[in-house]
Structure formats: structure tokens, C-alpha cells
Chain A
Amino acid sequence: MTIRRLVLALDDRLGVAPILRKALRKAFPDNWSFMFGEIALYCFLALLATGIYLGFFFDASTAPATYRGSDIALRGAPMSAAFASVVRLSLDTRAGLLLRQIHHWAALVFLAAIALHMCRIFFTGAFRRPRELNWVIGMTLLVLAMAAGFTGYSLPDDLLSGTGLRIAYSVLLSVPVVGGYLAFLFFGGAFPTTEAISRLLFTHVVILPALIAGAIGVHLAIIWRQKHTQFRGPGRTEGNVIGSPLWPNYAIKSIGLGLATAAILAGLGGFFQINPIWLYGPYHPWDVSAPAQPDWYIGWLEGALRLGPRWTIDLLHHTIPSPFFPGVVLPCVFFALLYLWPFLERWVTHDGEAHQLLDHPSDAPVRTAIGGAVLTFAIVLTLAGSDDVQANIFSIPVQGMVAAYRWLLVILPIAVGLLSYQFAREIRARRNQLPAPAPRVAISRTESGGFKDEPESLPSNRR
């Protein structure tokens, strides 16, 4: 009733009824795998909501602080105001730890949902003309989300995140010629700097959320304008869209999914500990803890640094240190390949047609094989990023694991690529072949327990 009155009042003043009616009846193709992007969207909303609360308690300062909270072991330890404020938020603020944990879990699931969504888009060929632009915006969202995750992870100034920040600083330094300037530009001096935390905070709570929100807006507007893709099916052509209307069918489903996402994130935050910084303690450049890992979405970069070759090149009086290749070159090549994929594929296949119907992964064996190989490459790097933890759990020497992962990094993507190519081709070939029915014959048992054919029931004698 209220909604009706509100809509009537709006229509009276703005004349939006025709537009709204058209918008609410817009058809959305229905497939559960089309909702992965929405999961990411709802995680982003959860991040905004919890992040606002955390912002009230965070002190972005590296000034020395005295901690007097409930963790006795930390009292009197030299620490920054930033770290002290996060420990206070975690252990002595009502609902502080719950919301911090929901925030962190939401960040991990946000990135996971983006990765899954990207795989869905890639393997079904949804990025093809006319949707290359939205692929590029989606890739940008991935990069922005990774940046937001890393800056947020670095804010508490604890032992673990400080180590991560130092690695990032060193990777920046490794860029030839401009590395030193870049590092100074971002950190405002030689590590550790007093500016780092306040710059990270501004990036994390203003710049990145604004960019992400803007990019999401454009992403959705383009989907609205171009209409959603659909799988092949009865009645579906390149020229139509068959699905449920936005209101009430699709909207109710989507709202349900949003509420479920919020519930599951809250459940994770309430029941599972994440990043217990008070156990790690404040960061000092001379302290270190092992094993140390970044959040999962940075794991592949960590793995690349661990597996990277020991090349140090002197070129025209400039040293190119070894972290440059795995730390800078590899991610740049990786992201360039992903950004340019729609254009590369069009260039190779000469397929400039506009596509509204999605592929089954087996429709494009080469694309599926390359996607599988690149995904495997990233997974092996991620696993290599936690080789010390695996060494500890399985009692295997770390050196052996590094050697094994270097081999696997080459062999596994090729093997997965070849296998998925073969599987895709076989599935495509078999799609319309029905299996032959199994032959049925009658035989009788002799008195001595042997078997005898019934001549009249042999297949050739049957009708």
C-alpha cells in the first residue's frame, strides 16, 4: 500500500510510470551461474556497511601509543596508535571484533566471487562483441578490489601486514630507473614511513570505494543497455531475450541472494576467527614471524616471488634486481593478457559478429584449454605462496617444494590445457550421439552349473 502511494506520488510529480513499467518488466535470462556477479555486489555492500563502523574507531597514525586494553601481554609494548586502535576495536569495543571479522571475511568472499564470475564470463564467451567494454571494466574492478583488499589488510600495522607492506615497497623499488621514485611517491620516504598508514587509509576508504562504486554503476548500466546474454535453448535466438521479468521474479531472487550473502558473511564473522592481530603483535622493521601469508588473492604474487628465478642483471649501470621479474613483469603480463583477451580472440578467430547466445565451454576447445591452463598457472602460484605451511604440515623440505612447484608451474598448465582441449572436443563430438542400447540375450543354466545359449533367443533370431 505504501509502495503504491509512493509510486503514485512520484508519477504525479515526475511522470515516471511508463519508464518504471518498462524497467520493471525487463526480461532477465534465468540461470544460477548468472548470479555470481551479484554475490560480489552484495559483498561490496556488506563491506561498505561494516567499513563505516570500523572507520569510527580507527586511528590512522604511526605515533607511539600506550596500550592499556585487556590483552595483558601487549600492555606496555611499543606500538603505533594505528595498531593500538585496532586491538582496542577488536578486544574492548562492543561488536568491534564481530564487524571487523565480517568486514575481512566479506573482502575474501568479494574477491572469490569476482574470480568465479570472471571464470563464468570467460568460459561461456560472454565477453565477445558487443561486451568487450564491460569485460575491460570488470577487469578494472578486479584490480581495484585487489588493491582495496591489500590496503585494508595493511591498515592495522601489525607484524603480518607490516611484513606485507615491506614486500610491496621492495617490489616497487625493484622497478628499473624509476623504482626509487615510485616507492618514495607512494610511501612518502624510505620504509618504514610515518605517512604510510594515513595514505593507505585515504586510498582504502575514499579513493578505491569511490572508483569501485563508479565502475560497478557503469558495469550495470552497460548490462542494462546491452541486455544480458543467455544460454542456447528452445526459442532462444541472437535476436531475443527469454527470461523472468525484473519485478517481481528476478528482483525477489536477487534480494534473497543478497540476504543469504549477508547472513553467511555474518555467520563467518561470528563463528570463525580471522586475522587475530593481537596475537601477531605490532610491527617493527626488525621483527618477523613465520610462516607468513597474505590474503588468498595476493597469494599468487607471493608465490611468484617465492618461485622467481635468481636473475640480477646489470644494464647500463642500472641493476635490475630479481624480484622485478616475478613481482612486476609477471603480473603486468598476466593482467595485459586478461585485459586484451577479447581483442586477441577476435584477432585470431576473425569472429567479429555480435553474440547474444553463450557458448558451452566445449563449443570453443581452444579458449577453454587456454583458460584452464592460465587458471592452473595461477592456482599453482597461489599454492606455492604457502609452501612453508605445507612443508610444516606434511613434513616435506621447503627446498624440495620450491623445486617441485617450479616444475609444476610449467608442466601442470600444459597438461591441464591439453586435457581440457581433449575433453571439450570429445564432449562436443558426443553431444548428439545417444549410446547404443546394451544387447540382451537369454541363456540357460545346465544341471552341472555351466551356461548354455538359448538358440532361439540369440539376437539375430529376435524380431
Chain B
Amino acid sequence: MNYAALALLLGMLAIYAWLVRRYSARRERPLPRGHAVAFVAMLFALYAALEPPLEPLADTSFLYHMAQHMLLIYVVAPLFLLSAPVMVLLGSVGIARARSIGGLLSSPLWRFLTFPVFAWLFFTVVMWGAHFSPLYELSLTNPIVHLFEHALFLGSAILFWQAIIHIGPVAWPMNFPLRIVYVFIAMPQSAFLGLALYQSKYLLYPHYLKTQGSAARALTDQQSGGALMWIVGGLLLFAVFMLVAAMWGRHERRLGEQFDAQLAAGSRALAIVGVACLLTGFGAGQARAATPPTEGEELFAVHCSSCHGANLEGSANGPYLRNVSRMKVEFYLTTGRMPASVPGIQNTRGSPRFTPSQIDALVGFVMSRSQGSNAVVAVDGTGNLQRGRTLFIANCSACHGATGKGGAVGYGRLAPNLDSATNVQVAQAIRIGPGIMPVFDPKTLDDAQVSDIVRFVEVLRANRPQAGGFAFDNVGAVAEGMVAWVLGLGLIVIVARVIGTNA
């Protein structure tokens, strides 16, 4: 018995249990028991995979080594995801920490890694690359490389499975048909790799020649390992395939039931209103609740009310909107910052989710319920460019940069690049101060000064002289230093290498 490994596993269990307790305390409801069961099962599988009796056998036989790897890939990795690590972590920490973790989860790097196409390809490349490169043989002789190989298998498998196991926040949610396709195309990949190992006439890993005693025994062992991957791996993936299909069916049935329930509730509400009207004798003008909702109201109910409340009263996830200004609503909707994907994380610019007419409808609905200012910005393009530049440098460049390319302003907040902002949006942002940007009210910058800045930003975006060649998006000295090293000195050193000798 390896006490160090046991202590490690118990430590992991203790951390998980501690997080679950905090989660339950904060959320005021316990974590569904299934997640904890999955975690404990994952620990058992991990122990089975990496400790005796399997581990010593795996050192001498390809078959058992394959069994070990398949435990890691097909059992440990999915069980880990089923234990909802991200959800438990996010739920067990305070809002500030949850925000910084959420920032990492929505960072471009993480979004790239978890993108299903990348995850699938990465998993496939790791599987094939590990078996048909010196890595495997090296891992048999060097324990550190072996550890690295296991980490690589486990990591790529977790990336692979996270694309279809959706618990907690997911960067790239896939619908069920896509998940089925995802698993389906993984089946031949795994089968062909197993088959390739099974069919090989050559001993791929000379290490087993020593441990198996004879070449024939080593080859037979290799064949069995390939068969295990081909058949058992294929069956496991097929089981997952069937499971996803079954879940799809259940999901559709539930949607149908929900729809039925809504219909029933709606007709009941109508009936109540109708009865009330009859009883009180109110006329048609009082029966507004029964008239069909406007487009704006409907859009708000579907896309906004879960955070901002059905009556704009706000919730833990989104602010009160009863005093929101027209500029604010327009700015957040036209820059695609609302609806937000994950509450609490800085909303970044995206393509608007609604058409201009839908945005008008939403703004109209919100402003009909809000006491906030109805003022709009007037952008007439008459600003003074030179004054605008001076004002921009004095008021905006500390965060957005003199070139308007944006910058980091601390605690994970970013001042965005102004390249894609329209003139109206620039003026609105100055007035409303979205996110942590300060509000510049008319006492600080009058309307003429705002239109000066708008004019300068317009020129900054489009017409500033970009003389001198390729500009690296004005990143500045960091890009220049890299170019000097790679393109400058790098090329010259290549010349030196070509004309010089290696004596």
C-alpha cells in the first residue's frame, strides 16, 4: 500500500468535502448527492488505475498499461466532470473570487481550449501522438515522463468530455444533436487506433521485449492491448452515444411537459382574469392583462427578466431598472453587452443579439416602466478634431490608450478597444459610464466637448496616418521588441549560420 498516494487521495476528498460544505452553506441548499458520489467513485477509479495491483502489471505489460490508460480516459475523466468541480468551486467562494474565476473561464485562452473542435482534435492528437512517438517508450523508462504522459492523457480526456458533460457554466454549450455527432466521430478514431496497434507487425515499444521475455510474447501482448482499445473502448463510446441519445429524448419530453404546463397556467390565468372582470364588471379598458403582450414586453420576459426581474425590480444577478436611462439601455443592447452570458463578469462587446427593430421595441418597453432620463445624445459630426484630441488625451487615454486600442485597468477589468464603437456609442459611453468607466456629465464635459471627442475617435478609428508600414495594431514596444529579436536579429543570425561554418 502506497501511503503517500492514499494521503493525496484523502486530501483531495477533504478539499472537495470542505468546498461542498461551503457551497451548501452559501447556496442554502445542499449539492445534489450524485456529484459527491461521482467524486468518490472518481477517487476509487484513480486509485485502481495508479496503484497495485494494476500499476506493477502495467510496467511489464502493454495490455495492463492500456487498461490503466483506459481507466483514466473513460472513467476517471468523466467522473471528475460529473462531480461538478467548477460549479462547486464557484458556489463555495465569495462573489469577488467567483468573479475572478469567472474571468478566467471567459478568457480567450480558456474559450479556445474548451472549444469542442479543438478539444476533440487535441484529444485525438494526444491519443495517436502518444502511441506513435518516442514519448510512450520514454515514459516506460523515465517515471517523470510517465507522470507527464498520464497528466497529458487525463487533461486531454477532461477537455474531450467537458464538451458534452454540461454541469455549471460552460463556454460552448452544444445541443444534443451536436453532442451525438461529437461522440459518434470519436468512435472510429478510437477503433482505428486500437486496430492499428492490433495489426502492427512490429514491436512498437522495445521496453516490453525485456519484461515479456520473448519477442513473440511481447507482440502477443501488444496485440491484446490493441484489441482492448478497439473493442472495449468502442463499446464504452457506443454506450456514451446511446446515453446521450436517451438524454436527448428525456430533454425533449420535459420541454414538451413544460410547454403544456405553461399553456395550462396561461389558460387558468386568463380564466381568472375573465372571471374577475365578470365579477367586478370592469370594462375592456381595465382588462389589459388579458391583451397579448407587446413585442418589447415579450422580448424582455424571455431574455432579460430572469436577472432584471419581470417588473424591472432586479435580482441578485442583475440591477434594478426602474430608473435606467434610455442611453444606457440603448448602449448595452446595441453593443451586444446585454443579454449577458454569465452574470457578474464584465460584459464585453459582441454582435448585438437583437435586430434594430427589436432593440427599439425593448427600449420602448423598458422606458415605459422606467423613471429614468429619456434624453438621447446628438451626434452631428461637427466636433473639432484638434480640441477632441486634447480632450481625449486628457480624459480617456489613461485607460483606452492614446491610440484607442484599450488596456487593462486592474482587477480583471478592461478598457475596450474603440475600433468598433460607433459615434453614438462613444457619446453614450461618455455620458453613462458603462462598467467601471466614470460618468462624464454635462458639468464635466459639455455637449460640444463630447462631440469633439467623438470626432477625434472617429478619425482615430479610420483616418489617422498609419505611415511607416505594418503597425501590429499599435501594440507598441512589446511587439517592436519581438520583431527586433525574431525578424531582425533572427534573420541576420540565419544569414550568419548560412555563410559561417560550424567548426
- A: residues with CB less than 8 A from B are 29-36, 39, 70-77, 90-91, 97, 101, 104-105, 108-109, 112-113, 116, 159-160, 231, 233, 243, 253, 256-257, 260-261, 264-265, 268, 270-276, 278-281, 286-296, 299, 386, 388-389, 391-400, 438-439, 441, 443, 450-453
Contact = CB atoms under 8 A, between A and B. Distances in A.
Contacts of A253: 499-500
B401 A290 contact: yes
Interface centre among B399, B401, B495, by most A CB within 10 Å? Answer: B495
B93 to A, nearest CB: 15
Contacts of A291: 401, 407-408, 476
A108 B481 contact: yes
Given A270-B469, A398-B410, A389 B401 contact: no
Contacts of A453: 214-216
Nearest to B410: A398
B500 A101 contact: no
Nearest to B109: A394
Contacts of B471: 273, 276
Given A32-B496, A77-B386, A105-B484, A39 B403 contact: no
Interface in B487-503: 487-489, 491-493, 495-497, 499-503
B121 interface: no
B381 interface: no
Nearest to A400: B100
A399 to B, nearest CB: 6
Nearest to A244: B501
A134 B156 CA distance: 52
A97 B487 CA distance: 20
B453 to A, nearest CB: 12
A286 B108 contact: no
Contacts of A275: 477, 480
Contact of B407 (A116, A159, A290): A290
Contacts of B480: 104, 108, 274-275, 295-296
A294 B467 contact: no
Interface stretch (B84-92, B274-282, B443-451, B458-466): B458-466
Nearest to B110: A395
7 contacts: A31-B500, A257-B492, A271-B469, A299-B481, A395-B414, A451-B220, A453-B214
Interface of B: 100, 103-104, 106-109, 206, 209, 214-217, 219-220, 223, 385-386, 388-390, 393-394, 397-399, 401-403, 406-412, 414, 456, 459-460, 464-472, 474-478, 480-485, 487-489, 491-493, 495-497, 499-503
A391 B492 CA distance: 32
A70 B463 CA distance: 12
A260 B459 contact: no
A264 B491 contact: yes
Nearest to B395: A287
A39 B496 contact: yes
A295 B474 contact: no
B490 to A, nearest CB: 9
A6 to B, nearest CB: 27
Q: Is the interface of A mostly helix, strand, loop or mixed?
A: helix
Contacts of B489: 39, 109, 112-113, 116
Contacts of A75: 386
A389 B499 contact: no
A298 to B, nearest CB: 9
Nearest to A268: B488
Contacts of B492: 39, 109, 113, 257, 260-261, 264
Given A101-B468, A113-B489, 9 more contacts: A32-B496, A35-B500, A74-B386, A268-B484, A274-B468, A289-B401, A293-B476, A450-B223, A451-B223
Contact of A109 (B398, B408, B484): B484
The 3 closest A-B pairs by CB, nearest first: A32-B500, A296-B481, A108-B484
A322 B114 CA distance: 42
A281 B402 contact: yes
Contact of A90 (B215, B464, B467): B467
Nearest to B496: A35
Contacts of B220: 450-451
A30 B501 contact: yes
A104 B488 CA distance: 12
Contacts of B477: 160, 275, 293-296, 299, 386
Contacts of B476: 160, 291-293, 389
B392 to A, nearest CB: 9
A299 B488 CA distance: 18
A247 B399 CA distance: 58
B407 A288 contact: no
Contacts of A299: 477, 481
A278 B403 CA distance: 10
A62 to B, nearest CB: 18
Contacts of B414: 391-392, 395
Contacts of B403: 276, 279-280, 289
Contacts of A386: 477-478
Contact of B493 (A105, A116, A243, A268): A116
Contact of B397 (A287, A396, A399): A287
